[in-house]
């Protein structure tokens, strides 16, 4: 099978003048090489397409693929993760992972939470702040938590994201509005344990590959799995395999959300417990990182004895089955 690989290479955007934080969600060359090598180990022919600009040019030139392995995050727009899937849909080219509707929805944390509430899935109470004037309308009790409404990899999250006063609320929201040029999600702060659940498969065949608890070390930014903590996870974070009652609840909630939203093939869901110890869903990541060392989904798999190649086999099996590629 001829498999194209779509991705945003971090070094390409750094050369264009974007910062390390601007490009935090993009992939380094070792990720692309690992994906390429693993796909070839399954005897597939691979083609490194790259970003949406390259994909557009290649499609215009008449190039086609049996399947595209898509990890492109996109650069511009609040629905940027949906751009490559939408383009592939327009050309009727099959691809791995979720479709434009799901990738657009889940990147927008406010819209995702509205759907989760309709599904009956616990998620923190929230308000969207679109301007400084909206900050005055926040009527949730402290403590609160603020973050950009459509970023990943912990971008915009620091120890100042945890808010205890009206002054802190204004300062943090105003700063995030200016820095990220998008609305800010303000939600009730969850003080309990934090989990991330790895999922493979689609629909009724989706299953968890494991649950890990995020443990922040003493030298980490306190209170949140922040951008700084994620970038320096080797020294600031421990990942603990867990299977207690709360972890099992988190796993059940994650699977219900994955199926209810309609995510496909593989991804990750983040949850945190409230003051009563009940897991609440924070974010859905249907386009999870897949670096063989650093990415949370791969770390989860390793904790449960699942190799990188086995993870790819499960992704390809899911995509092949739903697309009738066998």
Per-residue pLDDT of the chain in tens (326 residues, 90 and over written 9):
999 999 999 999 999 999 988 898 999 999 999 999 999 999 999 999 999 999 999 999 999 999 999 999 999 999 999 999 999 999 999 999 999 999 999 999 999 999 999 999 999 999 999 999 999 999 999 999 999 999 987 899 999 999 999 999 999 999 999 999 999 999 999 999 999 999 999 999 999 999 999 999 999 998 889 988 888 989 999 999 999 999 999 999 999 999 999 999 999 999 999 999 999 999 999 999 999 999 999 999 999 999 999 999 999 999 999 999 96
Q: Say what the pLDDT of residue 22 is.
A: 86
- Please tell me the predicted confidence (pLDDT) of residue 40: 98
SS (H, E, C) 198-267: EEECCHHHCEEEEEEEEEECCCCCCCCCCHHHHHCHHHHEEEEECCCHHHHHHHHHHHHHHHHHCCCCEE
Q: How far apart are CA 300 and CA 304, in angstroms?
A: 7
- Model pLDDT, residue 231: 86
Give me the pLDDT at residue 227, please.
Answer: 84
Residue at token pair 């099978």: 1
Please provide residue 209's backbone torsions phi and psi, each rounded to the nearest 5 degrees. Answer: -100, -5
**Residue-level pLDDT at 27:** 95
Ordered by where they begin, the domains of the chain are 2-95 (3.40.50), 125-188 (3.30.1490.20), 191-323 (3.30.470.20)
Listed residue (208, 211, 164, 196) closest to 283, CA to CA? 196
| Residue for token pair 């993760």 | 81
Could you tell me if 213 and 238 are in contact, meaning their C-beta atoms sit under 8 angstroms apart?
no
């Amino acid at each position: 099978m001829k498999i194209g690989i779509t991705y945003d290479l971090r070094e390409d955007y750094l050369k264009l003048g974007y910062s390390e934080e601007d490009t935090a969600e993009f992939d380094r060359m070792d990720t692309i090489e690992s994906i390429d090598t693993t796909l070839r180990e399954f005897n597939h022919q691979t083609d490194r397409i790259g970003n949406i600009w390259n994909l557009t040019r290649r499609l215009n030139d008449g190039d086609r693929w049996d399947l595209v392995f898509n990890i492109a995050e996109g650069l511009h727009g609040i629905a940027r993760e949906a751009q490559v899937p939408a383009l592939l849909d327009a050309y009727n080219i099959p691809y791995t992972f979720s479709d434009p509707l799901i990738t657009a929805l889940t990147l927008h944390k406010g819209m995702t939470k509205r759907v989760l509430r309709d599904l009956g899935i616990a998620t923190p109470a929230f308000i969207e702040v679109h301007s400084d004037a909206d900050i005055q309308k926040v009527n949730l009790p402290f403590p609160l938590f603020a973050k950009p409404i459509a970023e990943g990899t912990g971008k915009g999250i620091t120890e100042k994201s945890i808010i205890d006063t009206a002054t802190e609320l204004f300062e943090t929201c105003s700063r995030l509005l200016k820095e990220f040029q998008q609305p800010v999600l303000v939600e009730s702060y969850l003080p309990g344990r934090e989990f991330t659940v790895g999922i493979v498969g689609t629909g009724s065949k989706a299953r968890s590959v494991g649950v890990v608890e995020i443990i922040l070390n003493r030298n980490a930014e306190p209170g949140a799995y922040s951008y700084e903590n994620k970038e320096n996870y080797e020294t600031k974070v421990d990942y603990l395999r867990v299977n207690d009652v709360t972890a099992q609840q988190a796993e059940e909630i994650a699977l219900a959300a994955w199926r209810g939203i309609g995510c496909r093939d593989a991804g990750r869901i983040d949850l945190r417990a409230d003051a009563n110890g009940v897991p609440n869903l924070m974010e859905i990541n249907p386009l999870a990182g897949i670096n063989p060392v650093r990415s949370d989904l791969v770390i989860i798999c390793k904790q449960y004895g699942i190799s990188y190649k086995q993870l790819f086999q499960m992704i390809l099996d899911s995509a092949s089955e739903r697309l009738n590629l066998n």
